[in-house]
Chains A and B, each alone.
Chain A
Amino acid sequence: MTNWKVILSIAKTHLLTKIKQTSTAALGVTFGIGSYITLVCFMTGLNNMLDNLILNQTPHVHIYNEIEPSAKQPISLYDDLSESFNVVHSIKPKLSQKKIHNALPIIKHLEANENVYGALPQIKTQIFYIAGSIEIGGNLTGINPLDEAKFFNMADYIVEGSAKALHNTDNGILLGIGIAKKMSLKVGDRVQISPINGGIFPLKIVGFYQSGIADLDAIQSFANIKTVQRILGKAQNYITDINVKLYDIEKSIPLSKQIEKQFKLTAIDIKTANAQFETGTTIRNLITYAVSITLLIVAGFGIYNILNMLIYEKMNDIAILKATGFSGKDVQLIFMSQAMIIGFVGGVLGLLIGFGLANLIGTIPFQTEALPTVETYPINMNPYFFIIGFTFAMLSTFLAGYLPSKKAKKIDPVKIIRGQ
């Protein structure tokens, strides 16, 4: 039975005749929503980029053979001493291989697991890069370049050359950019490397690797698994690490526990390895929302104030409307719609401004050594943010309009008319 046409036309007239106050209130909302959108797109963009920096490269479960002292020392096997208190000094780890026994069957087994997206073998070894008389210590990792590119976004960190080039070159090496700089090497050059147990092997540089972490780039290089096995003089089944990527990162903890139990290997899950990382993300999100909500609350108070003032100024009008047959509810709706119109216009403008600003930020060059593939500031334009922003605008204006409009509803026309 509510007659929206009249109510909205009265609301419109009120808003238009008080255009200054109306725009101030709407601009408050615009400012709040605009900064929310800008902030949240920018912050989550950064968050995602930083997350990906870690998550893309890091295996969800990293399996290797830890060198550690045996928990059971030989003395405990000796029955005669089982009742006595034994002290063993200077325990040293058993000289065991870093090799994972039965690595290939384990990989097969993992790949059969429905949670596993990929399980990639690696060989990690220490080497020296040799250039003339200098020897630089470093790491060489044997990989399947194509799989690494597919599962761990390795291509993002190859600044020259490609994973495919490495795959196709038998004695190829993907050299850390730091080493290349130190030794003034170009793609196509040869670099000599020497494993710890001796020998010198010339490898052809097929590309440069830049992880963004300078210390790492100064030592780390990659070659095909076969190449590394040959350099080390090991068999085809010599594997030191298995990197597992899952479909769902949340499954990493149970899976790592299971692997440790089943294979007596060390399995580190990404959550444990990067615990501090998630805290950072949470805090950045918290800041974003705290700032946005503060801005919106300020905007809400602006609307509340202006509506209160408007209702105070419009006491006579309210009394006339009520005397001529508008109900308290009608009057409330008149002022509520004013609040909602302010919220709507301000909110939509805010979304547009936020969209514009976020896009603008997205075009600002952002070049950093640490992130070779990033050229401009990362922006995360999630439509979800716009829905939240709009809902927020409507909600805050609803709340800001509710109390004053409730007051207008309750105004007793007789009191106002008498007061004249």
Chain B
Amino acid sequence: MHTVLEAKHINKYFKKPVLFHVLKDINFTIKKGEFASIMGKSGCGKSTLLYILSTMDTDYEGELFLNNELITGQDRQHLSYLRNKHIGFVFQFHYLLSEFTVLENVMLPARKLAEKSAQEIEHDAMQKLKMLNIDHLAKKRALQVSGGEKQRIAIARALINNPSIIMGDEPTGNLDSYNAENVFNIFKQLSSEEGLSLLVVTHDEDFANKTDRIIQMGDGKIIT
């Protein structure tokens, strides 16, 4: 199985308000099709790590590989492209563009990538929505749907470019247990059926226990 994501000796400091060593020598790899979860106390640096892994934060030490390509030190334009093509991100809060319809939200990253025609993109987007059982919402405005639905739309958007990995920062943290279960099942299905890699930060013990692997963090370090 080839490696999708590899972190080597990642260190990060916050310089303000005081010098703070938030991530200390982080090393791990995520293989293709692997469903990993990150757990740890609040404030131990999980989100910070995820922002680095997602290439949004470039202010760190160490090396990061995506599909065996070194991405540390790449220019922002290229990082944007990598993020667009290879990384799907699901946030705790349902970040959708409120002025666009559900379908448009899902289509946007693919339209940015511009590898497919408009029809193909729309078709793909509808397919992702169908897969997540929310195709009936396609024409609604993003503002008009419920929290659980929003999270599924965000997942559909993360999936639209068939990325190498999906990252989630407490994607179920804001959902009731029914919807959390639902989201977990979707992730599980994506990893086993589509061979998608997933790296999900969670506080939910049950959720984590059902994943392939738990990365336990504490005080800026990986414990297990």
- Residues on A lying within 8 angstroms of B by beta carbon are 3, 5-6, 9-10, 13-14, 17, 316-317, 319-330, 413-414, 417-418, 420
Complex Cα spacing A70 to B95, Å: 97
The answer, among A10, A14, A326, A418, for a CB contact under 8 Å with B80, is: A326
Chain B residue with Cβ nearest A7: B112
**Chain A nearest CB, measured from B117 CB (Å):** 11
28 A–B pairs (Cβ distance < 8 Å), ordered by A: A3-B112, A5-B114, A6-B114, A9-B111, A13-B104, A17-B99, A316-B95, A320-B95, A322-B56, A323-B83, A323-B91, A324-B89, A324-B108, A324-B112, A324-B157, A325-B83, A325-B84, A325-B112, A327-B76, A328-B76, A329-B77, A330-B80, A414-B56, A414-B57, A417-B56, A417-B95, A418-B47, A420-B91
The answer, among A13, A326, A418, for a CB contact under 8 Å with B100, is: A13
> Which residues 73-98 of B sit at the A interface, judged by CB distance below 8 A?
76-77, 80-81, 83-85, 89, 91-93, 95-98
Interfacial chain B residues near A6, Cβ < 8 Å = 108, 111-112, 114
Interfacial chain A residues near B114, Cβ < 8 Å = 3, 5-6
**Residue of B76, B89, B97 with most partner-chain A CB within 10 A:** B97
Complex Cα spacing A323 to B56, Å: 7
Interfacial chain A residues near B83, Cβ < 8 Å = 323-325
Complex Cα spacing A329 to B79, Å: 13
Complex Cα spacing A100 to B111, Å: 86
Asked whether A414 lies within 8 Å of B99 as measured between CB atoms, the reply is: no
Complex Cα spacing A153 to B149, Å: 81
Complex Cα spacing A17 to B91, Å: 25
Q: Given A3-B112, A6-B112, A14-B99, A323–B54 Cβ distance below 8 Å?
A: yes
Chain A residue with Cβ nearest B105: A320
- Residues on B lying within 8 angstroms of A by beta carbon are 47, 51, 54, 56-57, 76-77, 80-81, 83-85, 89, 91-93, 95-100, 104, 108-109, 111-114, 157, 161
**Chain B nearest CB, measured from A27 CB (Å):** 22
Interfacial chain B residues near A13, Cβ < 8 Å = 99-100, 104
Interfacial chain B residues near A323, Cβ < 8 Å = 54, 56, 83, 89, 91, 95
Complex Cα spacing A10 to B104, Å: 10
Complex Cα spacing A326 to B108, Å: 10
**Chain A nearest CB, measured from B150 CB (Å):** 12
Chain A residue with Cβ nearest B89: A323
Chain A residue with Cβ nearest B77: A327
Chain B residue with Cβ nearest A329: B77
Asked whether B109 lies within 8 Å of A324 as measured between CB atoms, the reply is: yes
Complex Cα spacing A327 to B56, Å: 11
Complex Cα spacing A325 to B57, Å: 13
Interfacial chain A residues near B97, Cβ < 8 Å = 317, 320-321
Interfacial chain B residues near A329, Cβ < 8 Å = 77
Complex Cα spacing A95 to B208, Å: 122
**Chain A nearest CB, measured from B159 CB (Å):** 12
Complex Cα spacing A288 to B80, Å: 48
